[in-house]
Amino acid sequence: MHLQIIMIRISLTLIILVMLISCKSMDDSQISIYLEKSSSYKAQITRDVWGVPHVYGKTDADAAFGLAYAHAEDDFKNIAENMYLYRAEMGLKDGIDGAIQDYLIKVLKIREQIDENYTNDLNADVRKVIEAYAAGINYWMIKNPSNGYNHFFPVTEKDIVAGFSIQNLFFSGVVSSIEKLQRESDLKEEYTSLYRNQEFVTGSNVLAVNSRKTYDQSTRIIINSHQPLDGPLAWYEAHVRSDEGWNMMGGLFPGSPFVFVGFNENIAWGFTVNKPDLSDSYLLEVNPENENQYLLDGEWVDFKIEMVRLPIKLFGPLKWTVKREAKYSVHGPVLEVADKSYALRFSGMSDIKQVNQWYAMNKSNSLEDWLEAMKMRSIISFNGVYADREDNIYFLHNSSSPLRKEGIDWKNVIDGSRSDLVWDKYVNFESIPQLQNPSSGWIASTNQDPFKVTGEKDNLLSKNYSPTLGLQTRMTNRAYRSIELFSQNNKLNEKDFDDIKFDNKYSRQSRSYKYVSELFNKDFESDELNYARDILKKWDLATDFKNTSAALGVCVLSSEWISEQGQRIPQDPEISFRECVKELMETYGRVDPPWSERNFIVRGSKKESVQGGPDVLRAIYGRNDEAGDLNAAGGDGLYIHVSWDKDGQQKSKSIHQYGSATQDESSIHFADQMDLYIQEEYKPTFFDKEDLSKNISKIYNVPY
């Protein structure tokens, strides 16, 4: 009995202690330190009539400070919640499920690499920008003490760098490699899901034309990266300018001091996801007499073993820390999947220099500048499409591809007992696919085969590139449609170019159409199913408001699209067809409701019909809501059309799916761009200072 009382007292003491720790807030000494830091910066924030911030600072650091403050005003929740991931504290947010994500980040030692290499690997001017950006977030937190996330105060420059490294991890393909190993072992996918809504990072479009393709000799680019419409990977629009030559406008993610896709007065670029083979899984032979050794070149070698600490939320304010073993081989970190041990190796696994490259791109003013930035190779993937005032258009299948041994099948699991298969260099920049100013006058990057991005006679030849690069060969519907639309138009004007971007049809060459068309000649046992089959047969493959075949067609083809995204074989289309007929009948009482009654975009209490669908150029990826309707969750978000006429005069326009105030439902900018988005129209960017001066809603300085 006495022992029980002691244990109860100890437990109560621990609970109180944990609760006190969990209630951390900013103290006066911290506030004084960070207010003093903030006083060394000065920025001016000009909000245009759409609420978009145009941030000016004398120095780049001043501008970064103001950018952080403006972004925090509009979207602090996503900036703050990213910190759980950046600090490997998802377990404190999501419990054991989050801790599994933390384990992968901690095994890869992302924070340790930043601590060790921050000063040596990052340029001094980049460090100034990142530190100013962190200071801007902290200043906003001080000025808004009821923000709900004071336990993250202060946000540090190393938190910001960690975000870039984790994004590199996501796009390296290592997550997909782990998922594949788990599927093959019939295991639940336990190490993955690094980002909420990551399934909607499904594609992107960048379209570019130069004077060879335009009636008025203009150069044009439409930047249209597809992201989740909400959350930590949703686009935020901003314009940042300094007297040190930084003048970029475009899209950023929460927690980023740099524009990822956008333009300045001289150049513009966008990125689309590509999937070169940047990661390898090595099967290790573990010593049956010593589980802490593996075979390498005929000898048993000791694993390096460390303990990883994982904080986990229990319930309410209570948390706990668990320990888990981490093993390392010469190849990289080791994961145990079922009864086998695999070592992982991927491009960028020890690289924290992405911020150097993003900064160099943001300061570029010519094709030469931009290519020099891309040669840094710290941004390990993405297709880049570039256009500029000088009438250049450029395609780069960017990939930091490992310099691998020829003659090995690198698509499969690699023999971990051979040290000669452990690579440590990348192929030369000149050895990856890139194309400048094709004679066709156009480039379309839509997550497809890099050898089919322009007119047929201008495309690169795959035979000229090493198979060890593992370049993708997939074709998206968007790729087929863009090729068809550019090929059938000899010359384009501004409206023609926009019409291609807003095209909402499926190509008869696409996997989607071929999947659906397998149903056309089937005879079913009921009139209802045969009627539904006929609805599919008469479909013109569009997803416009009035279309009465799109609801069934998109439902059926979505099964194939989801399977292809996950690199799985799709189910028999008849199974999808029967499931979709049942769903539509239960939801609408018919299989042919107009697409306007099926496909919506929702913002607060506002729910409006929208055209487009999965893998069309007007990309809309929906989730079923409680009523059974599709609500847009990913796809077209922020997109930007930039052009230069034959005299070099620039024009730019853009639209965001919602508005600049991503969190404040009371703001007029919470959904003020939504109607234009639905109508497939744009707003001016007011990038030009004179245009901005006539369209200001608010000007203020920070610190204040």
pLDDT tens profile 67-111? 999 999 999 999 999 999 999 999 999 888 888 889 889 999 999
State residue 191's pLDDT score: 44
Centre a 10 Å sphere on the Cβ of residue 439 and count the other Cβ atoms it contains: 9
Query: How, if at all, do strands 630-635 and 599-603 pair?
Result: parallel
Residue that the structure tokens 């059974």 belong to:
628
State residue 449's pLDDT score: 96
- Mean of the pLDDT values across residues 352-362? 98
State residue 2's pLDDT score: 38
State residue 49's pLDDT score: 98
* Percent of the chain clearing pLDDT 90 (strictly above): 84
State residue 185's pLDDT score: 64
Choice among 30-39, 184-193, 529-538, 665-674 with the minimum mean pLDDT: 184-193
Nearest to 258 by CA among 142, 148, 362, 106: 362
pLDDT in tens, 587-632: 999 999 999 999 999 999 999 999 999 999 999 999 999 999 999 9
- Mean of the pLDDT values across residues 504-522? 97
- Mean of the pLDDT values across residues 528-538? 98
Higher pLDDT, 381 or 8: 381
Q: Is the pLDDT assigned to residue 218 strictly greater than 80?
A: yes
State residue 488's pLDDT score: 94
Residue that the structure tokens 């920049």 belong to:
429
pLDDT in tens, 312-346: 988 777 888 989 999 999 999 999 888 899 999 99
- Mean of the pLDDT values across residues 182-206? 57
State residue 12's pLDDT score: 37
Nearest to 257 by CA among 155, 186, 114: 155
**CB neighbours of 206 closer than 8 A, spacing ≥ 6?**
221, 222, 223, 224, 225, 269, 270, 271, 272, 383, 385, 443, 444, 445
Contact 240, 479 (CB under 8 A): no
Nearest to 549 by CA among 504, 486, 509: 504
Nearest to 608 by CA among 693, 676, 532, 539: 676
* Dihedral-angle region of residue 438 (phi above 0 means left; psi in -120 to 50 means alpha; beta otherwise): beta
- Mean of the pLDDT values across residues 386-391? 98
The pLDDT-based confidence of 27 (bands split at 50, 70, 90) is confident
C-alpha–C-alpha distance, residues 532 and 676, integer Å: 34
Question: pTM higher than 0.75 for the full model?
Answer: yes
C-alpha–C-alpha distance, residues 490 and 547, integer Å: 29
State residue 8's pLDDT score: 34
Higher pLDDT, 664 or 9: 664
Query: How would you class 665 by CB atoms within 10 Å of its CB: exposed for 0-12, middle for 13-18, buried for 19 or more?
Result: exposed
Q: Is the pLDDT assigned to residue 407 strictly greater than 50?
A: yes
Across the chain, mean pLDDT equals 92
- Mean of the pLDDT values across residues 420-445? 97
State residue 44's pLDDT score: 98
Q: Is the pLDDT assigned to residue 483 strictly greater than 80?
A: yes
* Percent of the chain clearing pLDDT 70 (strictly above): 93
Nearest to 350 by CA among 110, 119, 118, 177: 110
Q: Is the pLDDT assigned to residue 520 strictly greater than 70?
A: yes
236 beta partners: 252
For residue 501 the two structure tokens come to 């971007």
Side-chain-side CA neighbours of 172 within 13 Å: the count stands at 26
State residue 22's pLDDT score: 42
Choice among 312-326, 384-398, 418-432 with the minimum mean pLDDT: 312-326
- Mean of the pLDDT values across residues 31-47? 96
State residue 298's pLDDT score: 98
Q: Is the pLDDT assigned to residue 9 strictly greater than 50?
A: no
C-alpha–C-alpha distance, residues 234 and 226, integer Å: 9
C-alpha–C-alpha distance, residues 331 and 351, integer Å: 16
C-alpha torsion angle, residues 462, 465, 471, 473 (rounded to 10): 10
C-alpha–C-alpha distance, residues 610 and 601, integer Å: 6
Helices (H), 456-591: 477-488, 494-501, 511-517, 527-537, 550-565, 573-588
C-alpha–C-alpha distance, residues 135 and 98, integer Å: 28
- Mean of the pLDDT values across residues 435-452? 98
Nearest to 227 by CA among 639, 649, 699: 639
The pLDDT-based confidence of 24 (bands split at 50, 70, 90) is low
Q: How big is the chain by its Cα radius of gyration, in Å? A: 26
C-alpha–C-alpha distance, residues 193 and 166, integer Å: 12
Query: How, if at all, do strands 630-635 and 683-684 pair?
Result: unpaired
State residue 164's pLDDT score: 94
Q: Is the pLDDT assigned to residue 25 strictly greater than 70?
A: no
C-alpha–C-alpha distance, residues 382 and 397, integer Å: 7
Higher pLDDT, 562 or 580: 580
